[in-house]
Amino acid sequence: MNRTLLINEIFLSIQGESSRAGYPCVFVRLTGCSSRCTWCDTRYAMTNGTTTSLQNIIDTIAGFKTPLVEITGGEPLEQENVYPLMQQLCNRGYNVMLETGGFHPVSRVDHRVHKIIDLKPPSSGSSSNNHETNIRIALKAPPAEQALFEFKIVIAGKEDYEWATRLLQRTRINEHCPVVMGTVFSELSPAILASWILKDHLNVRMQLQLHKYIWPPDMRGV
């Protein structure tokens, strides 16, 4: 079957987010997202895309000669053929990461994929769409698979931070899986977020979007 995906861009860059930040990584950005996070930095991926066969995507990735591949968007889980793409990349031996907004259960994602799941705070305007099933799936996973779950919370201010600490107290997800916490770029000072995390002895990994410090923050394809 000639399966396709609507692709916004495929590029090689330095992974700027998550526990793998700093490693060379191929990014496959899928077009389209039905959410509208107020501070989304990738609005250009909402509509523009090229219909591309899975084989063509895999060949493009192979050309970058890099073992780490991240599937992002847009919202990657909104296109059905993302599932066979991830499976085929895993079969070929790539380290595959998925970056998802967390509005869809990750139960159909190949278990070998490193899943980075956002928990959207109130400032995003998308908080009511969080799918807490993903937290339950991660908590129930056997330890070896739990290591392939990572949750991410992007914070714009104190209200978001307090929402996040309540979520962590209630679910204790950070005792089982890495939780990365970062700032909405240019909205909240990293030093302020760092001071809150330190004051509360919060067991999270702070991260900044590394690529926005390496290159101009609004540059595309990096």
Ligand X SMILES: C[S@@+](CC[C@H](N)C(=O)[O-])C[C@H]1O[C@@H](n2cnc3c(N)ncnc32)[C@H](O)[C@@H]1O
Annotated binding site for [4Fe-4S] cluster: 33, 37, 40
DSSP 145-174: HHTTEEEEEEE-SHHHHHHHHHHHHHH-GG
* Interaction of residue 118 with ligand X, rule CB under 6 A: yes
Stretch (H or E) spanning 190: helix 190-199
Q: Which of 70, 75, 110, 160 binds ligand X (CB under 6 A)?
A: 75
Q: What does the DSSP 8-state code read for residue 188?
A: S
Binding mask 23-62 for ligand 2KA (x = CB under 6 A): ----x--------------x--------------------
Q: Give the whole-angstrom CA distance, residue 95 versus residue 2.
A: 24
* Interaction of residue 72 with ligand X, rule CB under 6 A: yes
State the pairing for strand pair 95-100/68-72: parallel
* Interaction of residue 101 with ligand SF4, rule CB under 6 A: yes
The region of 14-22, 80-88, 175-183, 187-195 touching ligand 2KA under the rule CB under 6 A is 14-22
The region of 49-57, 58-66, 71-79, 141-149 touching ligand SF4 under the rule CB under 6 A is 71-79
Q: What does the DSSP 8-state code read for residue 14?
A: E
CB of 74 to ligand SF4, least distance (A): 5
DSSP 108-129: TS-TTSEEEEE---GGGT-GGG
Q: Which of 101, 137, 161, 173 binds ligand X (CB under 6 A)?
A: 101
Question: Which one, 13 or 146, has the nearer CB to ligand 2KA?
Answer: 13
Question: Which one, 48 or 195, has the nearer CB to ligand SF4?
Answer: 48
Q: Which residue has the tokens 């997800």?
A: 173
Question: Which one, 1 or 72, has the nearer CB to ligand X?
Answer: 72
Task: State the burial class of residue 202 (Cβ atoms within 10 Å of its Cβ: 0-12, 13-18, 19+).
Answer: middle
* Interaction of residue 124 with ligand 2KA, rule CB under 6 A: no
39: left (phi over 0), alpha (psi -120 to 50) or beta: alpha
Q: Give the whole-angstrom CA distance, residue 149 versus residue 179.
A: 9
Binding site: which residues? 14-16, 29, 33, 37, 39-42, 72, 74
* Interaction of residue 73 with ligand SF4, rule CB under 6 A: yes
* Chain positions contacting ligand SF4, by CB under 6 A: 33, 35-37, 40, 42, 73-75, 101, 126
